[in-house]
Structure 1
Amino acid sequence: MGLLMGKALDENMKKQQQFMLQNQRDAIERQIQMQNYMREQATAMQLATARERFNWWASFYTLALIASVTGYRLTKRPMPLVPMLPLTFVFGYQADLCYGNKMERIKKDALRILEEDPDLITLPQGLPTVSLLEERRQKMK
């Protein structure tokens, strides 16, 4: 009789462990999905902000271009056109970021860094440990 109860308890314990393990996996997968969703939202907000900024840059660039060309026509000297050179680079960068493939190039470069140069992104003291975090938490009290 005791042998049967022992086997039943062992089976019950194994089922309980499997259940807990599955719950942990599900919780971790949910956390990963949530963090990725939050990252995607933050990236979308940054891109939307860049696009809004680009609209203002485009307006400024257009007005500066009109003013520069008008100044050149009135004076017949190239000096009013000089500020357009750096502004063109800024405008082009913003356009590439907002509507070009700059984000793809940034992702590819980030992947290359992760694969080929991981030393560039390691933390100075390595990953924090639970004991280090607990020690710091105790200091804050």
Structure 2
Amino acid sequence: GLCNAPPNASFGHVIVRGSLMGQYFSSFRGPYAQTAVEARESVEALILKERLVQLRAAKYQRDVQIATKIAQTRDVVHFMAGFYVTLAVAQVVKMRVLRTGPITIGQFPFYLVPFTLTYNLDLAYGTKIERLNREVKEIIRNEKHWFNEPMSLPPYLEVSYRQLQTEMNAKLALVGRPPERDWASFDTPMTDEEVLDLSYPVTKFLQQNQGFNWPHSNQQLCDPICDEPAV
């Protein structure tokens, strides 16, 4: 503004013109600064939502792994229960009906091997995998376990979580699907004392007696009366 002022312009005229030019450039820069702030906030929100999606996928993967382990264990328990029931029936038949005496150790493999072979044949060529898959879905959807409960997240993720859930449920509604259940919570977590109170008695004892000086195998036990090594 000063360089382009006319030669006969007064000093006050130059100052006023310079201030007007400054206001012009400030008003021109304002929207861009506001846009930059909004863009940064938008990027931060997208990063948080992406992190939430990753946490959701990790939780689902963990839940499936635990539910699969439970389903496999149940299948083995059912197999073992069926085997021992069959063994008990065979024992009664041998002793009370056939009167050939109890089942001996030498006869035991003739009962165990067919059961084991049948179990593996069902796994290799049968429908055991499909039954296990149905059991996994039942465990995840309908049973009450700690891993089926919403996972605890830090409070600063709550706003992004609510926005993400709203967006996802809106998309599900468009295709006629029910809304997704909440998979995260922002309640106050349990304290260390509350967690310890729910632990196993042995864990609680060891935690509460961390300062106890346990005797090592290479130390000699002393007689408390004479303070000399006990024989």
Q: When the two structures are superposed, what TM-score results if normalisation uses the length of structure 2?
A: 0.33
The percentage of counterpart residues that share the same residue type is 9
Partner residue in 1 for 2:41: 16
Residue 94 and residue 42 in structure 1: after superposition, are their counterparts in 2 closer, same or farther (change >3 A)?
farther
Task: Check if 1:95 corresponds to 2:145.
Answer: no
Per-residue CA deviations over 1:76-119 (Å, capped at 9, x if unaligned) read xxxxxxxxxxxxxxx5798249x934677429x99xxxxxxxxx
Q: Deviations over 1:111-135 (max 9, x none)?
A: xxxxxxxxxxxxxxx41369xxxxx
Say whether 1:106 aligns with 2:156: no
- In structure 2, do the counterparts of structure 1 residues 103 and 2 end up closer, same or farther at CA, with 3 Å as the change threshold? farther
Partner of 2:73: 48
Q: What is the alpha-carbon distance in structure 2 between the residues aligned to residue 43 and residue 52 of structure 1? A: 14
Number of aligned pairs?
98
Match of 1:84 in 2: none
Matched, 1:6 2:31: yes
The offset of 1:35, in angstroms, is 2.0
Return the letter of the residue paired with 1:62.
Answer: L
Quickly say closer, same or farther: Cα 1:36–1:105, change in 2 above 3 A. Answer: same
For 1:30-68, what per-residue CA distance to the aligned partner results, in whole angstroms no more than 9, with x for missing partners?
112112211221221121122123222221222323444
Gaps (5+ residues) in structure 2? 1-25, 100-114, 135-175, 181-231
| 1:1-141 aligned within 5 A | 1-68=26-93, 73=98, 95-96=119-120, 100-101=123-124, 105-106=129-130, 126-128=176-178
Separation (CA, whole Å) in 2 of partners of 1:36 and 1:64: 42
**How far 1:24 moved relative to its partner?**
0.7
Normalised to the residue count of structure 1, the TM-score between the two structures is 0.51
Structure 1 runs, 4 residues or longer, greater than 6 Å off: none
Structure 1 alignment gaps of length 5 or more: 75-90, 111-125, 131-141
Bigger-Rg structure (1/2): 2
**Closer, same or farther: CA 53–68 of 1 in aligned 2, 3 Å:** same
Query: Mean alpha-carbon deviation: is it higher for 26-35 or for 52-61?
Result: 52-61
Query: Which one-letter code corresponds to 1:33 in the other structure?
Result: A
Instruction: Describe the SS at the equivalent of 1:100.
Output: helix
Between the aligned partners of 1:93 and 1:30, the Cα distance in structure 2 is 41
Residues 94 and 36 of structure 1: CA distance in aligned 2, closer, same or farther (over 3 Å): farther
Paired residue type of 2:64:
R
Deviation at 1:73, TM superposition (A): 4.6
1:3 Cα deviation (Å)?
1.8
Cα distance in 1 for residues equivalent to 2:128 and 2:44 = 41
